[in-house]
Amino acid sequence: MSSGFNDIIKQGRVTIRSQHFRIYQKCWLVMKRASSEGPFWLEKYSKQRSTNTKSPQKVMGLTNVKNVSRSPRQQKKHAVMLEFREESSLTFACKSEAEADEWYNVLHIYCIQEKKKKLDFGEPDLLCHIRNEALQYHVFLLPSDRFTAQGECTLQITHKAIHLYNAQDPRQRIASWPLKVLRRYGRDCTCFTFEAGTMCDTGEGLFRFLTAEGEAIYHRVHTAVLAIMESHCSRLVKTQND
């Protein structure tokens, strides 16, 4: 899943060490952020052009990174290693020392230094309260080929889904879209837009909402999606360790 906007911090061709076979495989690695304040994650693609047409092969959350280091040259040249609190790790090699240094610096700044700064100042974790909130926004649903409803509505964002309610009768739910099956989403100065997949009750389609709060809706959705990804990654790691 991709937001399709300028949330890329760094990307490039690397070779990643497989956890199972201990061999290095070529891929295109992309580091992204949910917003200007994080959290951050890595997306793995088979090649660069796949970033525009396909979902990532793997998504790795970076909220549980405990250390970033350069691997010794005798082990692997131009390599960077991430260590996670779950006692797992990720090692990838770059094409040059300069590229490896750049990856190391970016990862260390965003995963170690920025996190420490937030803890020192007592700033709240973006994910700690998201399950306890269900924010609502007044929007205007634009006509859609696959959806009969349109006009003034209330959009509610929870940690699992986007819900649409009748603006005149808040008890009447018009539709729901689980966040985990959205194909893409984004915003501009006048609209918040997302594309639903076939698993949604409404079926697949593009839904556009006129709103002055597009930026706030986007960040709320994106942070919730990241929380889902983090939970999924944690379960995968736990399963592999077991």
CB 7 within 8 A of CB 28: no
The ranges assigned to domains in the chain are 8-125, 130-226
pLDDT in tens, 175-198: 999 988 888 888 887 889 998 887
In CATH terms, 8-125 corresponds, of 3.40.1000.10, 3.40.640.10, 2.30.29.30, 2.160.10.10, to 2.30.29.30
Comparing 26-40, 51-65, 121-135, 193-207, the range with the smallest average pLDDT is 121-135
What's residue 163's pLDDT? 92
Average pLDDT (61-80) is 86
Tell me the average pLDDT of the chain: 79
Q: Which of 111, 110, 100 lies closest to 15, judged by CA?
A: 100
Q: Judge if 8-125 and 130-226 fold alike in CATH terms.
A: yes
Question: Is CATH 2.30.29.30 the right assignment for the domain spanning 130-226?
Answer: yes
What's residue 131's pLDDT? 45
What's residue 129's pLDDT? 43
Give the start-end residues of each E strand in 34-126. Answer: 40-45, 58-61, 65-70, 79-84, 89-93
CB 84 within 8 A of CB 64: yes
Give this prediction's pTM.
Answer: 0.48
